[in-house]
């Protein structure tokens, strides 16, 4: 059995996000995402289902033309879409991407 503590992972910024993957298999990939205050993830076309869970802080999440605030302990699950996010005060999330 393996337990993951999402608050204690050392993480890199968006440009080096591949090192933030802490588990993957043939079905899905999970990573920790950290946005500093004012941090952004630029628009990215996701071709599979994606889930974001906010561990700490909050983000403004954009899906295609829609926008919503995702707060601590909330989860967002979406079908393939154009996604981006930003955080005014900083945030730590878990992202799960279902593999095609």
Question: Residue 63: what pLDDT?
Answer: 97
CB 100 within 8 A of CB 29: no
Ordered per-residue pLDDT tens for the chain, 100 residues: 999 999 998 898 878 888 999 999 999 999 999 999 999 999 999 999 999 999 999 999 999 999 999 999 999 999 999 999 999 999 999 999 998 7
Question: Residue 12: what pLDDT?
Answer: 87
Predicted TM-score (pTM) of this structure: 0.91
Q: Of how many residues is the chain composed?
A: 100
Please report whether residue 10 resides in a domain.
Answer: no
Please report whether residue 71 resides in a domain.
Answer: yes
Please report whether residue 18 resides in a domain.
Answer: no
Closest CA to 62 of 93, 84, 39: 84
* Total tally of structural domains belonging to the chain: 1
Question: Residue 18: what pLDDT?
Answer: 87
CA distances to 23, 33 from 53, in Å: 15, 10
Please report whether residue 17 resides in a domain.
Answer: no
- Supply 54's token pair: 């906010």
**CA pair distance 22, 72, nearest whole angstrom:** 21
Please report whether residue 85 resides in a domain.
Answer: yes
Please report whether residue 80 resides in a domain.
Answer: yes
* Domain that residue 60 falls in: 48-100
**In the block, which residue shows the tokens 């900083």?**
90
């Amino acid at each position: 059995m393996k337990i993951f503590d999402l608050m204690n992972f050392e993480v890199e910024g968006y440009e080096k996000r591949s090192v933030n993957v802490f588990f993957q298999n043939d079905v899905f990939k999970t990573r920790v995402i950290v946005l500093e205050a004012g941090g952004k993830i630029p628009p990215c076309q996701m071709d599979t289902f994606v889930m974001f869970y906010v561990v700490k802080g909050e983000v403004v999440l954009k899906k295609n033309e829609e926008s919503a605030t995702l707060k601590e302990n909330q989860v967002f699950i979406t079908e393939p879409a154009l996604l981006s996010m930003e955080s005014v005060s900083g945030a730590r999330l878990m992202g799960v991407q279902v593999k095609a």
